[in-house]
Amino acid sequence: MIEPDDKLKNLFDEAVKVARQQKHEYITLEHLLLTILNDSEIKELCQKTEGVLYADLIADLKSHIETKLNEIKTSEDVFPKRTASIDRMVNRAFTHAIFSGHDTVNSLHLLSSMYAEKNSHAVYYMLKNGLTKKIVIDYMTEVGSDIGEEPSTHVSSKQASKILKQYTVNLNEQAKANKTFTCIGRQDIIDEITLVLGRKIKNNVIMIGDPGVGKTAVAEGLAHMIVNNQVPEVIKDHTIYSVDVGSLIAGSKYRGDFEERLKVLLGVLEKNNKAIMFIDEAHMMHGAGSSGQGGVDLANLLKPHLARGDLKVIASTTWEEYRKHFEKDRALMRRFGKVNIDEPSVDHAKQILHGLKDQFTGYHNVQIDDTAIDASVDLSVKYITDRQLPDKAIDVLDRACAKAKIFDAFKDVQLKDIQEQVSQISGIKFESIVQTKTESIEHLGEKIKTQVFGQDDVIEKLVDTVLVAQAGLKQENKPIGSFLCVGPTGCGKTETARKLADGMNIPLLKFDMSEYQEKHSVAKLIGAPPGYVGYDDGQTGSGQLINELEKHPNAVILFDEVEKAHRDVMTILLQAMDDATLTSSNGKKVNLSNSVILLTSNLGAEDMQSNILGFVDGKQHDGEVDINTFFSPEFRNRLDAVLRFKPLEKPVMIAIVDKFINELNNHMLDKDISITLDMTAKDQLIEEGFDAKMGARPLQRVINKRIKLPLSKKILFEGITQEKLNVTYNKEDDVFEIMKG
């Protein structure tokens, strides 16, 4: 860190005193120049140099301060502030000192930097009295404080070391200190990078991959291999310097400062034949350092160096940023050799984490169970779908280790700890993650059958498909299951979806397709097209369906009454059922491989409930014609099954009555009230509520009218609490009597 020397600090103190004596509100260049000229070294320079009128210069400055600075006088004794010209001069002095390889800034640096303020009285008086910039520069050269008009790229080894330390990070040193991760299982990528670096010209690599796939880790891993002498001769003994673009830009207030710094840095790296420049997030090169008013950015400054082959560069960026920036700048793109970094497989990711185990245990001082490492990968793949391996698995493991270190010293990191972290990151209930596949689906069919009645065949087909998927025998890149549920209204299609989600302990995402009847409304599902309102909106631009799946990648997705949706929705669903992915209009992707897709429809319901007249055997029509007419063959071909729900029959209604009454009792638990219906009451409810065409919904309305309404009056007006009530039907009065039990 460069600092002003002690003498310079005293000069500023003296300038403040001069300004306060004159009651000036500001410190100007003239105040500072007067104190600089009183410095013994500067005084000696002026007096021994022929043509410099030292006494006249001092007199002019004093006269100017005493007579011509009356505008900045103040009636009060205040601490004077520095002018903008002072700040500019100081900034230039520091910049020059840095690139000259000095540890401190002295009065000579200040004096030489003052000449840039050409319109100031200070410069006018110096030139008037013969003190030119050439005199100052020549003297600085003589005493070893060489500063020219521009920093020179020809610097000493000591200066080069300081520049590299200030604006880069030495990855080789980081590797030696074990501060970076080793690269495991990426030898093919390392070989490809080495091949490009070994070229005579355009020996520059750009790594492209999704965020989190390990681009930076590859560069750090290459540094580890260089340190351990595991690389070919072409890059043996090389050093990888990661450029800190932020440090290059920081403090470069004025035009040209950034260019000066970069020019010197590139000169140092080019001079070092065994240097490799690493630029992480390379898309930042575009616009970096540019003032926006014709200034040259980092990308354009690099182009000549990249083409010659004097400088080896490794850059990294994402596909999105590559298309956005590099493909538009063809001149920059052709100077790089492209290397694709793909997401590692699950097995490869586990291999990586097992290889990093010692580094985590050493840093956190905890022990890590092997099952925890495997779970970090498996659970992150299943529940964290918006990020890539191995980054998301490493984050999960690191979080679990950190928690163990902070809250449970010396505790082993086990499977439960990983499950907790995945739950916190994904927002999925801890119970859902802890519950094994076997536990969640062992009695799935029985659970659903206790809530959905008269549809045993349909439920068994649905559960059988789920069992196959959960056993790991389903096709890769497919949802757990895709089903079309057809049948009359009120027969239990939507309820089956709810109970399936409850049984599997995963959320239900319901979309009413009546909201997507128009072509333009399809955009609400997957986002607005480019050029339309909302396209760039991060929240709504991706669409309702994409946003929900991003939050709940493991869910039952219900598209209710799908026949009402616009035909474009069917096209979207084809992609979901075919390869278990959906892409929003702005490019965001979600994975549905851990989801169940259910589509409900009332198509053919009328035919299914009526007997066909004519020369047939009287069997009920199954609605096949209507289904085949509406849904295209390619759509039907992607379904795992068409689940045909039967109209409810009267004997089933008793179970449905019991279900509705149980739900009512659950609502009254806080009031400690419960009701029981005798058979006369049940029979009457069934008599009034049964409708083969309408299903169970009329029964619900009858219960609301005949049971809930009088019960509500008793609670509100009679104040009944903590009661067990019996309900019977009085046929003579046609009333349901609610009595205390």
Q: Higher confidence at residue 41 or residue 156?
A: 41
What is the pLDDT at residue 303? 83
pLDDT > 90 fraction of the chain, expressed in percent and rounded: 23
Per-residue pLDDT of 391-423, as tens digits, reads: 999 999 999 999 988 887 667 899 999 989 988
C-alpha distances out from residue 523 to 52, 547, 568, 635, Å: 78, 13, 10, 21
Q: How far apart are the C-alpha atoms of 210 and 672, rounded to whole Å?
A: 56
Measured CA to CA, the distance from residue 179 to residue 665 in angstroms comes to: 61
Name which of 291-300, 337-346, 723-732 the model is least confident about: 291-300
The whole-angstrom separation of Cα 190 and Cα 554 is 36
Whether the CB-CB separation of 92 and 108 falls below 8 Å is answered with no
- Unique residue bearing structure tokens 């110096």: 126
Q: How many whole angstroms separate alpha carbon 279 and alpha carbon 465?
A: 49
What's the chain's average pLDDT? 83
Structure tokens at 467: 């069992």
- 454-473, pLDDT tens digit by residue? 888 889 989 888 888 877 77
Amino acid symbol at 25: E
Evaluate if pTM is beyond 0.85. Answer: no
Which of 213-227, 374-388, 408-422 ranks highest by mean pLDDT?
213-227
Q: Is the per-residue pLDDT at 172 higher than 90?
A: yes
Band (pLDDT 50/70/90 cuts) for residue 352 is very high
- pLDDT, residue 714, reads 86
Structure tokens at 248: 């290059």
Q: Would you list the DSSP string of 217-257? A: HHHHHHHHHHHTT-S-GGGTT-EEEEE-HHHHHTT--STTH
Residue 606: predicted pLDDT: 58
Paired tokens of 629? 């007419």
Residue 307 pLDDT exceeds 50: yes
How many angstroms separate the CA atoms of 272 and 281, rounded?
A: 24
Q: Is the pLDDT of residue 218 over 90?
A: yes
Helical residues (DSSP H) of 323-482, grouped into ranges: 330-333, 346-364, 370-383, 391-407, 415-426, 430-434, 437-441, 444-449, 456-470
CA 282 to each of CA 318, 342, 679: distance values in angstroms, whole numbers, following the listed order: 9, 18, 76
Residue 149's pLDDT is what?
41
pLDDT for 289 equals 55
Contact 342/213 with Cβ under 8 angstroms? yes
Q: What 3-state DSSP class applies to 675?
A: strand
Q: What is the pLDDT of residue 124?
A: 92
Q: What is the rounded CA–CA span in Å between residue 193 and residue 368?
A: 33
Residue 526: which pLDDT band, with cuts at 50, 70 and 90? Answer: confident
- pLDDT at position 542, please? 72
- pLDDT at residue 296, rounded to an integer: 62
- Report the pLDDT averaged over residues 597-611: 72
pLDDT band at 614; cut points 50, 70, 90: very low
Does 234 have pLDDT greater than 50?
Answer: yes
CA-to-CA distance for 278 and 316, rounded, in angstroms?
8
Six-digit token string for 518: 């128009």
243 pLDDT exceeds 80? Answer: yes
Helix (H) or strand (E) holding 601: strand 596-601
- Structure confidence at residue 147 (pLDDT): 42
Lookup: tokens for 532: 């339309």
The HSE-up count of residue 142 (CA atoms within 13 Å, CB side) is: 8
pLDDT band at 99 (very low <50, low <70, confident <90, very high): low
pLDDT of residue 294: 46
The predicted pLDDT at position 252 comes to 64
Q: What is the pLDDT of residues 114-133, one digit of tens each?
A: 998 888 999 999 999 999 98
pLDDT score of 437: 54
The predicted-structure confidence for 680-693, as pLDDT tens digits, reads as follows 988 899 888 888 77
Mean pLDDT check: name the lowest of 294-298, 433-437, 537-541: 537-541
Q: What is the CA radius of gyration of the chain?
A: 39
Q: For residues 464 and 484, give the distance between their C-alpha atoms in angstroms, rounded to a whole number.
A: 15
Residue 521 tokens read as: 């409304």
CA neighbor of 715 nearest in space, from 738, 741, 736, 685: 738
CA distances (Å), origin 679, targets 651, 734, 736: 13, 15, 12
Q: Quick one: tokens of 292? A: 């926006």
Higher pLDDT, 612 or 65: 65
Least confident among 69-83, 333-347, 405-419, 435-449: 435-449
> What per-residue confidence (pLDDT) applies to 176?
92
Among 34-38, 148-152, 501-505, name the one with the lowest average pLDDT: 148-152
List C-alpha distances in Å: 461 to 458, 483, 492, 638, 644: 5, 10, 15, 16, 10
